[in-house]
Amino acid sequence: MNTLFDKIWDAHVVQKVEGGPDQLYIDRLYCHEVTSPQAFDGLRARGIRCFRPERIVCMPDHNTPTHDQEKPITDPVSRKQVDALSANVAEFGLTHYRMNDPRNGIIHVVGPERGLSLPGMTIVCGDSHTSTHGAVGAVAFGIGTSEVEMVMASQCILQAKPKSMRIRIEGTLGKGVTAKDVALFLMSRLTTSGATGYFVEYAGSVVRNLSMEGRLTLCNLSIEMGARGGFVAPDETTFAYLKGRPHAPEGEEWDRSVAFWKTLRSGEDAVFDREIVFDGTEIQPMITYGTNPGMGVPVTGTVPSLDRISEEAQPSFLKALRYMHFHPGEEMIGKPVDYVFLGACTNGRIEDFRAFASIAAGRHRAPGIIAWLVPGSWAVRRQIAEEGLDKVLEEAGFEIRQPGCSACLAMNDDKIPSGKYCVSTSNRNFEGRQGPGSRTLLASPLVAAAAAVTGVITDPRELL
Amino acid sequence: MKQKFNIIESTCVPLPLENIDTDQIIPARFLKATTRDERFFGENLFRDWRFRSDGTPDPGFVLNDPRYGGEILVAGKNFGSGSSREHAAWALAGYGFRVVISSFFADIHKNNELNNFVLPVVVSEDFLQEIFAAVREDPSAKIRVDVPAQTVTLVPTGRCETFELNPYKKYCLMNALDDIDYLLLQRDKIEAYESR
């Protein structure tokens, strides 16, 4: 009661369906090329148009290649899906940041960056990482394609109201510990279903002190704990980030908006369905060893021994280790690595490239390591050049590619070969996620950079 | 596919693994389809568990085990975690599953199943383990899912549990109506909300 989640959700309830879910009004719908074509087909089959086209913003990101975007996509199946989005946005009169457009990038990087995602909004997209936009103080969550069609048809969605959870992380973070490590730590403690059924408010001094980029990373990974979404109450950090963004309010409207946004906080008397507190000083740089994001340990730690796994969970645990070719009790430090991927909606922002460059500077890519550095958007790509990070990284033997989802889920050409190990700043280490047979180790940009320059899993604190 | 629900009695396919994510249910490379062809997705359900890298069926995987079949999939805790891809629900429907039983479902996937007339049934962990044991013993053991009564019964032992289903969704499932049909009738309320 009286949580920020209640305030935003309740203000968007059009009506409560008798004996059923809430009919929730949606302020912003984002669409990409993978989960939208069948929704557009649905509208055509019903003979209807988008109800509020001005609230819908579309861009391809999953299939886009990370090189030669000025040329047509060579994979005919990917090209067809991207072309289908172009045709659909033209037919239905929607905003479109097409491939190679200077505004294009991964939806969850572009939305906040252009001020399209604002505090107090309800935001959805046919993509589970829509939780990212919660970092600006919005209720943002991923939906299925039938639900995308619902929003296109009515600007509403039928949805049971999730329960509320507050996760407070107090204290401070140690050297070399980033928002990604906080998220991997939370998942390792709560498991991938620990927050299922909940919307999470992140709070506490560690969260307050995170930059917007850090908050976007943290909220991005809410879904990996099972949460529908996660958010941070807007504050001066939020307002400073949003001011001057292309779609942020301006002039008097800005002042009015900030005055309203300042009211967006949980009451002193707020009651959460669940509240958890962690000590930030306990968190170490993290890495995953298994095939779900909850299977993480400190980078200096070991794969758990079998006696620490419950009987029902043992078949899945052993299946994961067989897939990864790891053994219970093994150390993570020193394990050889083949690929490094910096990017994705999790860690494809400017701060992530600064972090990677801080370790790469004056060092060199280790022999045999293949590294893909993929900015989350063209805006990030431009800022990398403005800050001269591209020079630093090139001197260290790293090439910066063009923006897109890339090797996070390998729908374009950026696939990790079967049996190869990839230290990846993305969000999922599921079997085959980065290509059939690929073995993913999730980590922060610092841990990724440390692996890239040494060729093995390394504690980044030794290189800072 | 929109179809009316009432009572389903069927053998089942047991998959006693926890945290089965939607990348396993349908790998990303099958997401490039631009149409909702359930047969295509059904053919590729659990693709990388069903088939070895040379394309031949893996006899160790339950969908390739001739002793098991039916309209009900029984899976370990936290089924459908990860990606929001509705293609996972299309694949389950396309393969012929009408019910998935587990002790816990991921939120987005659960909604996706319901929106595609695949019924997610939550049972206790204890009952789930009993079902796994019963069908391991006798693959022809049947399960009865009674939607009007909201009960699930393991036929050989008679053990029965009730499951949750809100009255609105129950009405939709029993009458083959979807949420869009409902929302399209609410335009006046939506416009009233917008002018608040």
pLDDT in tens, A351-406: 999 999 999 999 999 999 999 999 999 999 999 999 999 999 999 999 999 999 99
Does residue A198 share a domain with residue A299? Answer: no
Q: Tell me the C-alpha distance between A222 and A235, whole Å.
A: 20
Does residue A119 share a domain with residue A64? Answer: yes
Average pLDDT, chain B: 96
Considering only CB atoms, A409 lies closest to which of B28, B125, B186, namely B28
Considering only CB atoms, A20 lies closest to which of B21, B34, B168, namely B168
Tell me whether B3 touches chain A (CB under 8 Å).
no
Which CATH number covers residue A33? 3.30.499.10
Q: Check residue B128 and give its pLDDT.
A: 98
Q: Check residue A1 and give its pLDDT.
A: 80
Does residue A292 share a domain with residue A270? Answer: no
Average pLDDT over residues B110-136: 97
Question: Considering only CB atoms, which chain A residues are within 8 Å of B106?
Answer: 193, 196, 226
Q: How high is the ipTM of this complex?
A: 0.96
Q: Which of A12, A15, A17 to mutate to test the interface with B (most CBs of B within 10 A)?
A: A17
Residues of chain A with pLDDT under 70: none
Interface of B with A in 78-97 (CB under 8 A): 78, 81-86, 89
Q: Check residue A312 and give its pLDDT.
A: 85
Does residue A391 share a domain with residue A260? Answer: no
Judge whether A171 lies within some domain: yes
Does residue A180 share a domain with residue A44? Answer: yes
Judge whether A283 lies within some domain: no
The token pair at B104 is 């816990």
Quick check: A452 and A366 in contact, CB under 8 A? yes
Does residue A295 share a domain with residue A261? Answer: no
pTM, two decimal places: 0.97
The 3-state secondary structure of chain B reads CCCCCCEEEECEEEECCCCCEHHHHCCHHHHHCCCCCHHHHHHCCCHHHHECCCCCECCCCHHHCCCCCCCEEEECCCECECCCCCHHHHHHHHHCCCEEEECCECHHHHHHHHHCCCEEEECCHHHHHHHHHHHHHCCCCCEEEECCCCEEEECCCCEEEECCCCHHHHHHHHHCCCHHHHHHHHHHHHHHHHCC
Domain boundaries, chain B: 7-194
The alpha carbon of residue B10 is apart from the nearest alpha carbon of chain A, in Å, by 25
Q: Check residue A134 and give its pLDDT.
A: 98
Contact A35 B129 (CB under 8 A): no
End-to-end Cα spacing for chain B: 37
| Residue the block writes with tokens 């049909």 | B181
Does residue A117 share a domain with residue A79? Answer: yes
Interface of B with A in 59-78 (CB under 8 A): 76-78
The alpha carbon of residue B95 is apart from the nearest alpha carbon of chain A, in Å, by 19
- Nearest chain A residue (CA) to B114: A146
Contact B104 A193 (CB under 8 A): yes
Question: Considering only CB atoms, which chain B residues are within 8 Å of A196?
Answer: 78, 104, 106-107
Q: Check residue B2 and give its pLDDT.
A: 82
The token pair at A411 is 């729908």
Judge whether A456 lies within some domain: yes
DSSP for A118-176, please give it.
Answer: -TT-EEEESSGGGGGGGGGS-EEEE--HHHHHHHHHHSEEEEPPPEEEEEEEES-PPTT
Count H helices, E strands: chain A? 16, 18
Q: Check residue A104 and give its pLDDT.
A: 98
* Residue A411 DSSP one-character state: S
Q: Which of A274, A302, A328 is the last residue of a domain?
A: A274
Tell me whether B58 touches chain A (CB under 8 Å).
no
Q: Which of A242, A274, A306 is the last residue of a domain?
A: A274
Query: Under CATH, which architecture does the B7-194 domain have?
Result: Alpha-Beta Barrel (3.20)
Q: Which of A245, A274, A303 is the last residue of a domain?
A: A274
Judge whether A281 lies within some domain: no
Average pLDDT over residues B37-54: 96
Question: How many domains are contained in chain A?
Answer: 2
pLDDT tens-digit profile of A91-124?
999 999 999 999 999 999 999 999 999 999 999 9
Considering only CB atoms, A150 lies closest to which of B85, B106, B183, namely B183
pLDDT tens-digit profile of B82-93?
999 999 999 999
Q: Residue B63 burial (CB < 10 Å; 0-12/13-18/19+)?
A: middle
Does residue A260 share a domain with residue A297? Answer: no
- Nearest chain A residue (CA) to B104: A193
Q: Tell me the C-alpha distance between A10 and A3, whole Å.
A: 10
Quick check: A141 and A222 in contact, CB under 8 A? no
Structural domain of A183: 4-274
Judge whether A40 lies within some domain: yes
Q: Check residue B123 and give its pLDDT.
A: 98
